[in-house]
Structure 1
Amino acid sequence: MGILSGNPQDEPMHYGEVFGTWNYLLTAKSTIAGYQMQLNHAGDEDLKKILKDSIEGGQEEVKQIETLLKENGIGLPPTPPEPPHACLDDIPIGARMPDPAIAAALSANVASGLVACSTAIGQSIREDIAMMFGQFHMQKAQLGAKVLRLNKEKGWLIPPPLHKNKNEHCE
């Protein structure tokens, strides 16, 4: 039996897995801090709920990855401080991040998170790491669907130019 044929947790992580998980963790911590800041700016209650769910989901991912890295003797990236709570009315109008911009940033973060998860899955040779990122990917896909629905319902979605079949005009 080879070195990679037993319990995945007993297998060493390769450099790509180490870098991918470490980098994902650094990004997740920064993203959580960003969502916490955006929560101060959000006025829409549905958007606030999705931001809170995103923070909780991100914190759960952080716990899982920190455990994995610690078990493998890998140092952790720094955690940004939690931003202070602010009342929306105390933020000057010109300095506020509008709800549609927060929702658009959330959509972009979800999309880049899906790519990061897919990349980690593809480069993993340890099944437990691939499965962990597969779980994260499914959760992000579900979150993305919620954000898309929110953007459509609130009228915040800015679609790209829509393609119409040129044969529709030739009847």
Structure 2
Amino acid sequence: MGVLDGNPKDEPLHYGEIFDLWQVSATAKMSLSAYQAFHFHAGDKDLKKIIDDLMDQAQHEIRECDKLLKLNGFVPPPPLPDRPSVKLEDIPAGARFSDQEIAAALTSAVSLSLVVCSQIMGKSIHRDIGLLFTKIHTQMAALGKDLLRINKQKGWLVPPPLHLKNPEPVHA
């Protein structure tokens, strides 16, 4: 019987899986700090709700990745301290992120998360890792759908040039 033929809990992680868990945990910890700041800067209640959901998602990713790292004998990356609370009106206008800027940054982060999850799912040979990132991918896709909806509703979406009609053919 080979090393990878038994119970997934007894199978070793490969270096890529270890690095991915560590990197996702570190990224989620940094993202959580950024989401906290965005929450203080945001004025729109729908945007604040999505930020809350993203903070919950980041905390879930941190718990799951850190648990797997510890179970396999690795020290997870250190957490960042929580940001001090601040009222929106206390943030100077020139230093404050607008709701549109926050929504764009969140959309970019969610999009990147989907790519990273797909890569990890594709290279993982440990079932537990693949399933974890399938679940994270699904949750992030749902959050991306919510972000797209409010970006459209609020008029924050800046689309690339749209192809509205076919050009007339040029005959030479």
TM range (shorter): over 0.9
Output the CA distance in 2 between the equivalents of 1:39 and 1:60: 18
| Closer/same/farther in 2, CA of residues 2 and 165 from structure 1, 3 Å limit | farther
| 2:24–2:61 Cα contact (<8 Å) kept | no
Q: CA deviation at 1:60?
A: 1.0
Output aligned runs, 1:40-59, within 5 Å: 40-59=40-59
Given residue 111 of structure 1, which amino acid in structure 2 is its aligned partner? Answer: S
Structure 1 residues 102-133: Cα deviation after superposition (integer angstroms, max 9, x where no partner)? 00000000011111111111110001100000
**8 Å Cα contact 1:21-1:65 kept in structure 2:** yes
Q: Deviations over 1:63-102 (max 9, x none)?
A: 1111100000011112111111100000111111000000
Aligned to 1:28: 28
Aligned residue for 1:131?
A: 131
Share of identical aligned residues, percent?
49
Partner of 2:3: 3
* CA RMSD after TM alignment: 1.1
Structure 1 residue identity aligned to 2:28: A
User: Which residue is 1:162 aligned to?
Assistant: 162
Q: Which amino acid aligns with 1:149?
A: R
Which position in structure 1 is the counterpart of 2:88?
Answer: 88
Q: Aligned AA for 2:53?
A: D
Q: Number of paired residues?
A: 169
CA distance in 1, matches of 2:48, 2:14: 39
Corresponding residue number in structure 2 for 1:111: 111
Q: Which runs of 5+ in 2 are unaligned?
A: none
1:37 equivalent in structure 2: 37
Partner in structure 2 of residue 71 of structure 1: 71
Residue 36 of structure 1 aligns to which amino acid in structure 2?
Q
Single out whichever of 26-35 and 156-165 deviates more from structure 2: 156-165
Q: Give the aligned residue type for 2:20.
A: G
Q: Secondary structure at the match of 1:166?
A: coil
Opposite residue 122 of structure 2, the aligned amino acid is: G
Query: d(CA) in 2 for partners of 1:85 and 1:147?
Result: 24
Instruction: Say whether the 8 Å CA contact 1:33–1:80 is kept in structure 2.
Output: yes
Paired letter, 1:166: N
Instruction: Check the 8 A contact 1:21/1:120 in 2, yes or no.
Output: no
Report the alpha carbon displacement of residue 3 of structure 1 after superposing the two structures with TM.
1.1
TM, length-normalised to structure 2: 0.95
Match of residue 142 from structure 2: 142
* Cα distance, 1:165 vs structure 2: 4.4
In structure 1, list runs of 5 or more residues that go unmatched: none
